[in-house]
Structure 1
Amino acid sequence: MNVVSDSLKSGSALADDYINHFSQVEDLYGDDFRMEESWNRRAEWLDESEGTRIDRAALVACLRQYNNKHNDHKEVHKSLDLLEQTGTLAVVGGQQSGLFTGSLLVVYKALTIIMAAKEAQEKLQRPVVPVFWIAGEDHDWDEVNHTYVMTPELKVARVKMDAAPGPRGSVSHIKVTPEKWKQSLDQLAALLPDSVNKPEILQLLNQAAEESGNLSDAFAKLLGRLFGELGLILLDSADPALRQLEIPVFERMIKQNDELGPTYQAAAARITGHGYPLQADVTADGANLFYIYEGNRLLLQKQNGSFTDRKGIVNFTKEELLSELTNHPERFSNNVLTRPLMQESLFPVLCTVLGQGEISYWAITKDAFPVLGLKMPILLPRMSFTLVHGTLRKYMEHFGLSFQDVQHRFDDARQNWLNAQADFDIDPRFEETRNAFEKLYEPLIRELGTIQHGLIPLGEKNKDKILEQISYLERKTKQALEKQHEAALRQWEQIYVSLFPMSKPQERVYNIFYYINRYGFGWINDILGSCTRYTAEHQIIEM
Structure 2
Amino acid sequence: MPTDCISYQNSGYFTPLMNDYLDQKSNLRLLYNRFPTLENFDDQILEKKLNFNGYDNGKSKRSLLVTVLEKQYSLIKTSTETLNNINLLNDSNTFTITTGHQLNLFTGPLYFLYKIISTINLTKELKSKYPESNFVPIYWMATEDHDFEEINYFIFKGRKFRWNKESSGPVGRLSTEGLADFFKLYQQDLGSGKNADTIKKLFQESYLNHTNLADATRFLANELFSEQGLVILDADDHDLKTTFIPYIKNELLSQTSYKEVTKTIENLKEYPIQVNPREINLFYLEDNLRERIIFENGTYKVNNTTIEYAETEILSLLDTNPEKFSPNVIMRPLYQEVILPNLCYIGGGGELAYWLELKSFFDTVNVTFPILLLRNSAVLVSEKQAKKADKLGLSWANLFSKQNDLINNKVKLLDEYSIDLSIQKDFLKNQFHYLHTLAQKTDPSFSGAVKAQEAKQIKGLEQLEKRLLKAQKRKHSEELERLTILQNELFPNKSLQERQANFSEFYLEYGEQLIPNLINKLHPLEVNFDIITL
Question: Shorter-chain-normalised TM-score: which range?
Answer: 0.7 to 0.9
Evaluate the alpha carbon distance shift between residue 294 and residue 306 of structure 1 in structure 2; reply closer, same or farther with a 3 A threshold: farther
| Aligned counterpart, 1:127 | 134
Q: Who is 1:376 aligned against?
A: 369
State the alpha-carbon separation in 1 of the partners of residues 316 and 389 from structure 2: 64
What SS is found at the alignment partner of 2:12? Answer: coil
Matches within 5 A, 1:4-43: 5-7=5-7, 8-34=11-37, 36=39, 38-43=40-45
Q: How does 1:293-312 map to 2 (within 5 A)?
A: 295-311=288-304
CA distance in 2, matches of 1:416, 1:51: 61
Are 1:52 and 1:373, in contact at CA under 8 Å, matched by a contact in 2? no
Match in the other structure for 2:264: 267
User: Per the alignment, do residues 293 and 221 of structure 1 end up closer, same or farther by CA in structure 2, a change over 3 Å counting?
Assistant: closer
Partner of 1:117: 123
1:243 equivalent to 2:238? Answer yes
Deviation at 1:382, TM superposition (A): 0.7
- What are the equivalent positions in structure 2 for 1:470-489 lying under 5 Å apart? none
Partner of residue 204, structure 1 = 202
Q: How does 1:376-415 map to 2 (within 5 A)?
A: 376-414=369-407
Assess, with a 3 A threshold, how the Cα gap between structure 1 residues 373 and 188 changes in structure 2: closer, same or farther. same
Where does residue 451 of structure 1 map in the other structure? none
Q: Aligned AA for 1:371? A: T
Match of 1:530 in 2: 521
Query: Unaligned regions of 5+ residues in structure 1, if any?
Result: 151-155, 429-473
| Cα distance change on mapping 1:357 and 1:326 into 2, 3 Å | same
Q: 1:216 to 1:502 in 2, by over 3 A?
A: farther
Q: Which piece of structure 1 moves more, 398-407 or 123-132?
A: 398-407
Change (3 A) 1:292 1:409: closer
- Measured in 1, the distance between the counterparts of 2:244 and 2:413 equals 66
Matched residue count: 480
* Structure-2 separation of matches of 1:9 and 1:214: 39
* 8 Å Cα contact 1:11-1:357 kept in structure 2: no
Q: Closer, same or farther in 2 for the Cα pair 1:416/1:209, shift >3 Å?
A: same
Instruction: Determine helix, strand or coil for the equivalent of 1:130.
Output: strand
For residues 206-221 of structure 1, what are the structure 2 equivalents within 5 Å?
206-221=204-219
* Aligned CA distance change for structure 1 residues 312 and 515 (closer, same or farther; 3 Å): same
**Contact 1:135 1:236 (8 Å CA) reproduced:** yes
Contact 2:98 2:342 in 1 (8 A): yes
Range with greater deviation from structure 2 (215-224 or 139-148): 215-224
Structure 2 letter corresponding to 1:263: E
User: How do residues 111-510 of structure 1 correspond to structure 2 at under 5 angstroms?
Assistant: 111-125=117-131, 126-150=133-157, 156-165=158-167, 167=168, 169-177=169-177, 180-192=178-190, 194-238=192-236, 242-257=237-252, 258=254, 259-272=256-269, 275-283=270-278, 286-292=279-285, 295-311=288-304, 313-414=306-407, 491-510=482-501
For 1:111, give the aligned amino acid: I
CA distance in 2, matches of 1:14, 1:347: 27
User: Secondary structure of 1:539's match?
Assistant: strand
Q: Following TM superposition, by how much is the alpha carbon of 1:420 offset from its aligned partner in structure 2, in angstroms? A: 9.8
Aligned CA distance change for structure 1 residues 538 and 294 (closer, same or farther; 3 Å): closer
Contact 2:144 2:172 in 1 (8 A): yes
Q: CA deviation at 1:386?
A: 1.0
- TM-fit CA distance, 1:112: 0.7
Measured in 1, the distance between the counterparts of 2:139 and 2:209 equals 20
After superposing the two structures, state which structure 1 stretch, 354-363 or 247-256, moved more.
Answer: 247-256
Provide the C-alpha distance between the structure 2 equivalents of 1:211 and 1:171, rounded to a whole number of angstroms: 17
Mapped to 1, the partners of 2:395 and 2:339 lie a distance apart of 45
Distance in 2 between the 1:214 and 1:277 partners? 36
* Cα RMSD, aligned residues only: 3.2
Q: Post-superposition shift, 1:199?
A: 1.1
The letter for the 2-side match of 1:405 is N
Deviation, structure 1 residue 226: 1.0
1:1-26 deviation per Cα after TM superposition (whole angstroms, max 9, x unaligned): 99963233234221221122343311
- In structure 1, how many angstroms separate the alpha carbons of the residues matched to 2:418 and 2:129? 60
The alpha-carbon distance between structure 1 residues 128 and 360, as it changes in their structure 2 partners (threshold 3 A), is: same
Distance 1:161 1:172 in 2: 15
> Aligned partner of 1:260: which letter?
S
My pick for the range that moved more, 329-338 or 64-73, is: 64-73
Q: Does the CA-based 8 Å contact 1:115-1:534 persist in structure 2?
A: no
**Match in the other structure for 2:92:** 86
C-alpha separation in 2, matches of 1:208 and 1:397: 41
Which whole-Å deviations, capped at 9, do the CAs of 1:141-200 have from their partners, x for residues lacking one?
0000011122xxxxx2111111222x3x111122121xx212332333233355441111
Q: What does residue 438 of structure 1 align with?
A: none
CA drift at 1:485:
6.3
Task: Quote how far apart the aligned CAs of 1:228 are.
Answer: 0.5
Q: Secondary structure at the match of 2:501?
A: coil
Q: Which residue of structure 2 aligns with residue 73 of structure 1? A: 79
Q: Which amino acid aligns with 1:250?
A: I
TM-score when normalising by structure 2: 0.82
Say which of 500, 503, 506 aligns to 1:512. Answer: 503
Residue 201 to residue 59, structure 1, CA distance change in 2 (3 Å)? same
CA contact (8 A) 1:2 1:542 kept: no
Q: 1:485 to 1:182 in 2, by over 3 A?
A: farther
Shift of 1:218: 2.0
The structural deviation recorded for 1:71 is: 5.7
Residues 207-259 of structure 1: CA deviation (Å, up to 9, x unaligned): 11222223332222111111001100001233xxx233212413432235423
2:107 to 101, 108, 111: 101
Q: 1:492 to 1:160 in 2, by over 3 A?
A: farther
Take 1:515 and 1:490, find their aligned partners in 2: how far apart are those partners? 24
Change (3 A) 1:94 1:293: closer
**How far did residue 417 of structure 1 move?**
6.0
Residue 340 of structure 1 deviates from its aligned partner by 0.9
DSSP-derived class of the 2:277 partner:
coil
Query: Once the two structures are aligned, what percentage of the paired residues are identical?
Result: 26
- Secondary structure (helix, strand or coil) at the match of 1:520 reads helix
SS at match of 2:156: strand
Q: Does 1:61 align with 2:67?
A: yes
Deviations 1:389-415 (A, max 9, x none): 111112222222222222223234346
How much does 1:365 deviate? Answer: 1.3
8 A contact 1:353–1:382 mirrored in 2: yes
Q: 1:116 to 1:67 in 2, by over 3 A?
A: same
C-alpha distance in structure 1 between counterparts of 2:228 and 2:32, whole Å: 31
